[in-house]
Amino acid sequence: MHMADALLSPAVGVTMWAGSVATIGYSSRKLKDNIDNKTIPLMGVMGAFIFAAMMINFTIPGTGSSGHIAGGIILTVILGPYAAFLALASVLMVQALFFADGGVLALGCNIWNMGFYPCFIGFPLIYKPIAGDGTIARRISIAAIASAVISLQLGAFSVVLETLLSGKSELPFGTFVLLMQPIHLAIGIVEGIITAGIINYVKKVRPEILEASSFSRPLNAGISIKNVLIAFVILAVITGGALSWFASTHPDGLEWSIEKVTGKGKLVEATQGIAPVLKEIQKKTAFLPDYNFKSAAREEPKGNEVPAWPGIQTGTSVAGIVGGAIVLISILLIGFGIRFFKNKE
C-alpha cells in the first residue's frame, strides 16, 4: 500500500507530512517517559523484522493481485503504540530513501496510512478490548485479525481520500474505493493470521513483553529478552535474505486497483514543482531500487512477459539484509537519542 508521488498533489503530500511529523514528535515525547535499555533493542530488532517481512508479497487467489503485511499491529502489541509508530516510520523512511519503495512526497501519507491507524486506533479501540488481559490465545487471535483488518481498511480508504483531495480524476472515488476496500480486506485477513501467530509466540516465550506494552510501562529489570531478540534477528535475516525470493510477482493491492480503474499500472508523474525534485533526490539516495542492484532494477519485463518466480537474485538478498541492518541502526540511534534527552532533563 505504498503510495507513489504521482497519486498526490503537493498540498496533500505536504499536509500529510506535517501530520506524520507531528505524530512522530508526540510519540517521541510519550516514549521518553518509559524508555529503557530493553525497549530500544527490541524496537530495532522488531523494525528490522518488519522491514524484511514487507518484502514478501503473497498472492491473493483469483484476483491477480498480491499484498504484504504492514506490521503495525505486530509492532504495537509488542512495543506499545509510541515505540511502534516510531519504528514503523523508520522502516517506511528507509524503504523510500534507500529502496525507492513509495514516493518521498507520499512518505507522510504512507506513514500515516500504515502507522497511525494500527497504533492509535486498531490497538487501543479494537485489539485491547477483544484480547482482554492477553492470557487466552484464541482471544488474541481474534483481536489480531480484527484489528489488522480494520486498520488496513482505514489505511486503504485514506489512500482513496488522499487521491480524491489531490484531484486525481483518473481515479474516480466510487470505482476506486470499490476496488481498494475488498482487496485490502483479503490482505488484512492474511496479515491478521500472521499477526496472531507472532503475538502468540511472544506470549508463550516472554508474556511480560506484552504486559509491559499493553500498560505502557518499562520491562522489569530482571526479565531477559535475549532469546526473543535472537529469534527475531534470525527471522529477519532468513526472511530478507532468502524468503524474499519467493515474493509474489503480481502487483500489490494498490497497483492492482489503479490498473483496474485506469487500464495501466501507474499514473503520469508530474514534470514540474516539488515532486520531480524529490524524485531526483530519491534516485540519488536509493542505492538498491526495487530491492535489487540498479542494473537488475532497470531490466523491465518485455511485453506480457511474467517475471521469473522465485526471483532468486543476489541483489534481493543484499537488499533484505542491508535494509534490515539500516533499519536496526536507525531505530537504535532514535531510541538512544530519546533516552539521552530524557537523562538530560
- Mean pLDDT, 10 residues at a time, over the chain (345 residues)? 95 98 97 89 98 97 95 97 97 98 97 98 97 94 98 98 95 96 98 98 95 83 91 98 94 95 85 93 96 75 63 91 98 95 81
In the chain, what are the domains?
Answer: 5-344 (1.10.1760.20)
Q: Quick one: residue 66, left, alpha or beta (phi over 0 = left, psi -120 to 50 = alpha)?
A: beta
| pLDDT at residue 237 in the model | 98
Give the pLDDT score at 303: 52
The b/e string for 292-306 (b: 16+ C-beta within 10 A; e otherwise) is: bbeebbeeeeeeeee
**The model scores a pTM over 0.75:** yes
d(CA 275, CA 287): 20
- Give, in order, the Cα–Cα distances in Å from 34 to each of 21, 300, 332, 338, 342: 21, 48, 16, 10, 10
